[in-house]
Structure 1
Amino acid sequence: MSRQIDYRSTYPHTADEVYATMVDPDYLRARLERIGGPRASLLEHSADVGGARYRLRHGLDAKDLPSVVRTVLPGDITIERNERWTRQDSGRYLGEFDVAIPGAPGSADGAMRLRDLPDGGSELSVRADVRIAVPLIGGKIEGVVGEQVQGLLAAEAAFTHEWLAEKAR
């Protein structure tokens, strides 16, 4: 089984501006430093006019995890996240991602879309499927992890808003 997550964030900036920010290695490093957790880092990065690919590492302290998650994943957790973006045309980008937790029975993957809105600004939408392969309590853990993913996406969106506002000054 899996838990599906849908997330949306809007920006007062064009999709081209938001995309350029989201795939900038300096932005990614700063975002990871602020909200990526212990041992967070940008592991790989490449970008050109057609798109971008990068691999991120996030860290979670065991003390910050809900108790139901600690029963299955004792100790600190390392999360590896791969993102791939493709430019469709001006103002429209499609992305996909996968997330792995080495040594743990959990994973996620999904799709992203960044597009200009008709009345100005842009919208980022994310659809993710979270899977935790643990008998009996896997569904409960998927729910908890889903809430954590929603929180992370919201924190990343807030950081992106802040970064874009700072760059506009």
Structure 2
Amino acid sequence: MATQLSVTQSFSASPEAVLDLLRDRDFVTACVQSVNGPQAVVLVHRVEDAELTVISESPVPAAILPGPLRNMLPSNAHGTKSETWTKTGDGYRAVIEIAVTGAPASVIAEATLTVTETGATLSIAGKAEVKIPFIGPKIEKMMVDQASERLTAEGEFINTRLGTGTISA
């Protein structure tokens, strides 16, 4: 069974302006640390002709984990977020993967950044899957809640640079 993830963000700037921010490693590092804390790091920031890849890592505080999962993970567990953006028409598309070290759990989503009359809309849709009997759905919900919260915070951080927009999860 999987738990669905859906986040929509709107920006008062073009998709190109949003991606220009993501092409700036310093901006991405500031965003990752603002959302995930000062120990979060950008492991990979690769800008190529038609593709942008960002891989970041942040500690997973044991306090946010359900008890059974807390006992399964190493004390130094980290969450890794990987996103690869490509140009599609007037906008962009990305595959986003989120995983936790040592956990049989992941979030996989597709993001589309499209042109609107007032700027751009980012739609993220995906699912969390946890392959642990009985407690899997509870962990999936926690992962979706955490991912939604952090993706929303990233959108708010981007909007501080671009101007105002709206975000819904």
Q: Please indicate the TM-score interval, normalised by the length of the shorter structure.
A: 0.7 to 0.9
Partner of 1:156: 154
Matching residue within 125, 128, 139 for 1:127: 125
Q: TM-score, normalised by structure 2?
A: 0.86
In 2, Cα distance between the equivalents of 1:159 and 1:131?
Answer: 27
* Corresponding residue pairs, total: 163
Partner of 2:144: 146
Q: Give the CA deviation at 1:30.
A: 0.3
Q: Which moved more, 1:134-143 or 1:72-81?
A: 72-81
Alignment root-mean-square deviation, CA: 1.9
Q: Which moved more, 1:146-155 or 1:76-85?
A: 76-85
Structure 2 unaligned segments of length 5 or more: list them. Answer: 164-169
User: Higher relative CO (CA 8 A, sep ≥ 6), structure 1 or 2?
Assistant: 2
Q: Give the CA deviation at 1:23.
A: 3.1
Could you tell me the percent identity over the aligned residues?
A: 26
Partner of 2:86: 86
In 1, Cα distance between the equivalents of 2:88 and 2:98?
Answer: 24
Q: Give the CA deviation at 1:75.
A: 3.6
Secondary structure of 1:104's counterpart equals coil
In 2, Cα distance between the equivalents of 1:102 and 1:74?
Answer: 8
1:1-150 to 2 correspondences below 5 Å: 1-37=1-37, 39-65=39-65, 67=67, 69-70=69-70, 72-73=72-73, 75-89=75-89, 91-117=90-116, 119-150=117-148
Q: Is the 8 A contact 2:23 2:52 kept in 1?
A: yes
Structure 1 unaligned segments of length 5 or more: list them. Answer: none
Q: Is the 8 A contact 1:109 1:129 kept in 2?
A: yes
Are the structure 2 counterparts of residues 136 and 98 from structure 1 closer, same or farther at C-alpha, using a change threshold of 3 Å?
Answer: same
